[in-house]
Amino acid sequence: MSALETVYQANTQTEPAMIELKGISKEFVKPSGDVHSVLQGINLQIPKGEFVSIVGPTGCGKSTTLSLIAGFEPPTQGKVYISGQKLEGTNQRAACVFQTENAFPWKTVMDNVSLGLRLRGKNKAEANDEARKWIARVGLKDFEGHYPSQLSGGMRKRVALAQCLIVQPEILLMDEPFSALDVHTRHLMEDELLRIWEETSASVFFITHDLEEAIALSDRVIVLTAGPGARVKGDYRIDLPRPRNVAEISFDPAFMRIHQQIWQDLRDEVIISYENANKFSS
């Protein structure tokens, strides 16, 4: 194992990990009645405030892992712990940003962003005051009265970020949040996410198909094997200095070395996944 690769060591901190997956397996029953094993024996600890990305071949189980952390569904085996407590039902300490739109089209930016606080019982004036701050923080100060359809894709992503962050989640779960954006807007949004995350102590679990994005943003990158029964293949610590500029960091020789190393792991799994897909379709 090279110096760059570090299989994650047991957390030596006294406080429990913010997110812990212990011996997780997940199976789905197909309409035919056959059992489809998606994840097998996943162990993962994410401390408070850490930014972790997960990569792996298409269909290997990244979104399923996120869904288990969100508590949208239970594992078949194993347990999910949040700050040392077994997760039962929906994870109330987490907020999610998905690839698809988060905002309600019939509500203004202000109403969309303040909604989370209104649902938590804040009165309209207080919720709007707080929303105003978050709207400004994500660069949409002059767009409070706009509807989502009047905004660009990048602006709608800013709304989605503000919607999530206003409730000050301890855990941010992000499933390919920027994949639909053009590359320039995407870099702006990634920088913005890092800037805001660095001011919070949120733990981030970030799914992406883009290894460069994973390395540029993260403290750690997890590689999953090709399914069925995906496992953690690699757990890489990304010791690049912060604050980072995502468009520029990819030119750093240290970035390139890390990229090459993780890509070797990932490429093998992508090939296996591709071969499996061809086997099952022929």
Ligand X SMILES: Nc1ncnc2c1ncn2[C@@H]1O[C@H](COP(=O)(O)OP(=O)(O)OP(=O)(O)O)[C@@H](O)[C@H]1O
Which spans of this chain sit near ligand X (rule: CB under 6 A)? 28, 36, 38, 56, 58-64
Instruction: Report the nearest approach of ligand X to the CB of residue 229 (Å).
Output: 11
Q: Between residues 90 and 152, which has the closer beta carbon with respect to ligand X?
A: 90
Whether residue 146 contacts residue 109, with contact meaning beta carbons closer than 8 Å, is answered with: yes
Question: Angle 30-272-235 (CA atoms, 0-180°, nearest 5)?
Answer: 95
Nearer to ligand X, 28 or 106 (CB): 28
Cα separation of the two ends of the chain: 37
What is the side-by-side order of every strand in the sheet holding 203-207?
Answer: 94-97, 171-175, 203-207, 51-55, 220-224, 232-237
Distance, CA of 163 to CA of 242 (rounded, Å): 25
- Select 64 or 163, whichever has its Cβ closest to ligand X: 64
Sole residue written with tokens 């610590």: 237
Query: Nearer to ligand X by C-beta: 3 or 29?
Result: 29
Least distance in Å: CB of 58 to ligand X?
4
Distance CA 226, CA 17 (A): 26
CA–CA gap between residue 256 and residue 260 (Å, rounded)? 6
- Tell me how far, at minimum, the Cβ of 31 lies from ligand X, in Å: 9
Pure H helices in the chain: 62-70, 109-119, 124-137, 153-165, 183-198, 211-217, 246-249, 253-281
Q: Which is nearer to ligand X, 60 or 215 (CB)?
A: 60
Closest CB to ligand X among 60 and 138? Answer: 60
Residue closer to ligand X by CB (options 62, 137) is: 62
The least distance separating ligand X from the CB of residue 228, rounded to whole angstroms, comes to: 8
Handedness of CA 117, 54, 186, 182 (dihedral sign): negative
Q: Closest separation between CB of residue 3 and ligand X, Å? A: 29
Find the shortest distance in angstroms from Cβ 137 to ligand X: 29
CB under 8 A, 24+ apart: contacts of 86-93: 91/171, 93/169, 93/170, 93/171
Q: How far is the CB of 213 from ligand X (least distance, A)?
A: 14
Q: Do 162 and 134 contact (CB within 8 A), yes or no?
A: yes
Between CA 162 and CA 196 the distance in angstroms is 10
